[in-house]
Amino acid sequence: MSKNSNGKTAVLFLLSAGLILAAAATYLLSFYYRQVCFQILGGFCQRMIEKNPDSRQVVLELLKTQDFHTAGEAILSDFGYRPSNLGIRDTTAFWVAVILFFAGGILFFFSYRYWRGKSEARIQALTEYLEKINTGRQGLLLESSEDAFSKLQDEIYKTVTALYQTKEEALTARNNFAENLSNIAHQLKTPITSISLSVQMARECLGTDKIHANLREIERQLNRLLHLEEALLLLSRIDAGTLVFDRKPTDVFTILSLASDNLYELFLEKGVLMDVPEMGEISVNVDLDWTMEAVMNLMKNCMEATGSGTAVHCSCEKNPLYVQIQIWDEGEGFAKEDLPHLFERFYRGERAKNTGIGIGLSLSKAIIEMQDGILHAYNLPNGGACYEIRFYSH
């Protein structure tokens, strides 16, 4: 909507409003004029009857004829009277008022429709621009104009420009972070490989139990470093968005069973049972291997949080909105202060064991969320920690 068309719309509004006001004024003046004429005629008849009481009946009969004003025009003119001096019933002013009123109303209606159409077109253009931005497409700049929406349009452009800059900065920072993680992980390989070779050579050359115990501790720490290296590489792929998922319909019971089988020896060594009941046919659209990796981390955390002779339980249910998977243990549950930080990288709570590096839950959360799912944790009312996964149907 240009400044010129906006001015034309304002003129049309003023013109239509003027016509409506003129029509209303004309009608009011016409009504007042007839009232004055009525009073003049009433006063004349009253004075005539007062002067000549016998004329009362004649006056009444004359008034009932409704055409008394069509005769005697010559004599009234001779006396200096004009039609405007008497209560003559003239509807011309009334009809002029009606015509002006309807003309103003019609002009106002079409002016309003024109203004509303232009406003809706502007709103639609701004809406389509924002939809393109939200869907990742490059929005074209709209034609600059001076109207009621100009300031809104300018503010939208400023906001979108700022968001683009923020997005680019965030992507640059994320890529830099991912690259740094990858570099650190690769740099760890050289000393780890060198230490591993040295441990193997020392084991072959030395034979005392004390030395073997020290070597086993070195090997244990090397395994932790190897796990850290793999985790950092995986984190770098997640942050860079290069982790590819082969998503297809997968049975939930299959995911839980395979994850349980891979942890069988750890569960057996700890003396913890794994309860994976039959669940019927419930499928989710996920990558089997990566989802199983995420579930294994949750099962392992439950196992480490509970004692010997207890069990880790699993369940699954489906509704029209999502598929929900729950994994819980029979331990003490999460510490209250740990709950807000459970899925932070490298965070280790007060009840954490000496195993692990505090990255498993963060990886599980990232893997699940990258497949349109959510993961959160809470304490059960009767004790125990519970992890809940939801994969939404859309």
Q: Which amino acid is at 11?
A: V
Q: How confident is the model at residue 385 (pLDDT cuts 50, 70, 90)?
A: very high
| Six-digit token string for 313 | 């339980």
Q: Which residues are CB-contacts of 33 (< 8 A; sequence separation ≥ 6)? A: 93
Q: What is the pLDDT of residue 313?
A: 94
Distance CA 299, CA 220 (A): 22
Q: Please determine, for residue 35, whether its predicted confidence score (pLDDT) is greater than 80.
A: no
Distance CA 264, CA 292 (A): 14
Q: Please determine, for residue 85, whether its predicted confidence score (pLDDT) is greater than 60.
A: no
Adjacent-strand bridge partners of 326: 315, 388
Over the Cα atoms of the chain, what is R_g?
45
Q: Which one-letter DSSP state was computed for residue 345?
A: T
DSSP-based three-state secondary structure for 377: strand
- 278-337: pLDDT as tens digits: 888 899 999 999 999 999 999 999 998 888 899 999 999 999 899 999 999 998 889 888
Q: Please determine, for residue 177, whether its predicted confidence score (pLDDT) is greater than 70.
A: no
Q: How confident is the model at residue 91 (pLDDT cuts 50, 70, 90)?
A: low
Q: Please determine, for residue 175, whether its predicted confidence score (pLDDT) is greater than 80.
A: no
Distance CA 62, CA 188 (A): 123
Q: How confident is the model at residue 267 (pLDDT cuts 50, 70, 90)?
A: very high
% of the chain with per-residue pLDDT over 90: 24
Q: What is the pLDDT of residue 52?
A: 80
Q: Please determine, for residue 30, whether its predicted confidence score (pLDDT) is greater than 80.
A: no
Q: Please determine, for residue 86, whether its predicted confidence score (pLDDT) is greater than 60.
A: no
Distance CA 177, CA 185 (A): 12
| Six-digit token string for 369 | 């969320």
Q: Please determine, for residue 94, whether its predicted confidence score (pLDDT) is greater than 70.
A: no
Adjacent-strand bridge partners of 325: 316, 389
Contact 229, 188 (CB under 8 A): yes
Q: What is the pLDDT of residue 1?
A: 45
Q: Which amino acid is at 291?
A: T
Distance CA 255, CA 283 (A): 10
Contact 185, 236 (CB under 8 A): yes
